[in-house]
Copies of this chain bind each other. A is one copy, B any other.
Amino acid sequence: MKNNVTIYDIAKRLGISPSTVSRVLNNSSHPVKQEVRERVLAAAKEMDYVLNAQARNLKKQMNPTVGVILPSIANPFYPSIVRGIEDEAMRRNYYIAISSCDKDPRRTDQYVQSMLEQNMRGIIAIYLEYLPQSLANYVQRGGQVISVVTDGVLCENAHNIVVDKVLEARQAVEHLIGLGHRRIANLMNELDSQLRRKRLEGYFTALKNAGIEIKKDYLYIYGQDIPAFGDESAESVKVGYELARKMLERTPEVTGILCMNDMMALGVIKALRENGRQIPEDYSIVSFDDLFFADCIEPSLTTMRVEKYQWGKAMARYLFEILENPGAESGTAMKVQKVLTPSALVVRGSTAPPRCEN
């Protein structure tokens, strides 16, 4: 980039010292005569001065950017969260660096490493699946990490916000059981994440508590190892569609269906409709996330709501609080309630009592 005017240039032009220029340009508390201040400001504008953030950050040994780690920005669950973080960051003149890590250790590691190299002050990690060495380094060097996790994958010395996925899945299934369903299928993506395994556990727990026999046949798991797909946005839909078709074939006696997320539910609904089944008359469906379309499609989805935008804001606020009050406790594993609005089931049109030919 050409034409970079520095504070030295401004200083020279005005016959003053660079420090004075710096003080003015930074609104430093250090006193500067009003008249000088104005001349500096005028010169800066006239000369098209642009601050060199690299130099400043190097000197100040910090970078007002927070890293955001998530599976993929193309997964519709995340953008609203990110927007929440972004808005909260901007209020404080911070920036964010978003990283779609898929569940790829190498990708994750590379991103975290770069956050470390760039001296970013904090990281917000959402459903991080793989705990990279670089993240441990990051924390150890004094970087602050807020990590939203399902119980089990805690990051040592980070601020772990623990979301009880077992409970969430249990509640979803209990809703179906409460309606009278006994034959409940569970449609899942690969079991490649802790989150999904916990949901499976919740599914089992709910059935067990209700004295319902667990049938392996009712478990539908997208079997193949699908290679990380660039555009994650539509993948789940296809998975749901295929799993539902298989379900209709193998265990049509099912009446309730648990889906891993609203995207899958979309595919499930499509498959059922194509086969002439009614929802909720023939099949009840409950899922997770409450994406924007859950309320609009027919049938509307009974789903576990997450206040995504608010989550983002809250996580960011929490991080900044820690950054500003360095004394705070760390290495904690706190319940989600402490920081975020917990999820709650939103009952809509996709669930009803089971069909009668029980």
Residues on A lying within 8 angstroms of B by beta carbon are: 1-4, 48, 50-55, 57-58, 61-63, 72-76, 78-80, 82-84, 86-87, 90, 95-98, 100, 107, 110, 113-114, 116-119, 137, 140-143, 230-234, 237, 263, 266-267, 269-270, 273, 292-293, 295-298, 308-309
Cβ contact within 8 Å between B82 and A73: yes
Known: A58-B52, A80-B231, A230-B309. A90 touches B74 (CB 8 A): no
Given A72-B83, A79-B76, the answer on whether A50 and B309 have CB atoms closer than 8 Å is no
Is the CB–CB distance between A231 and B54 below 8 Å? no
Q: Are B298 and A293 in contact (CB under 8 A)?
A: no
Are A3 and B118 within 8 A (Cβ)?
A: no
Assuming the contacts A107-B90, A237-B296, asked whether A141 and B79 have C-beta atoms less than 8 A apart, the reply is no
Q: Are A231 and B2 in contact (CB under 8 A)?
A: no
| A114 vs B273: C-alpha distance when bound (angstroms) | 50
Whether B95 and A309, one on each chain, are in contact in the complex, defined by CB atoms closer than 8 angstroms, is no
**Contact call B53/A117, Cβ cutoff below 8 A:** yes
* Interface contact B84-A230, CB-CB below 8 Å: yes
- List 9 A-B pairs, Cβ < 8 Å: A1-B143, A2-B141, A3-B140, A50-B117, A50-B141, A54-B63, A76-B76, A83-B231, A266-B296
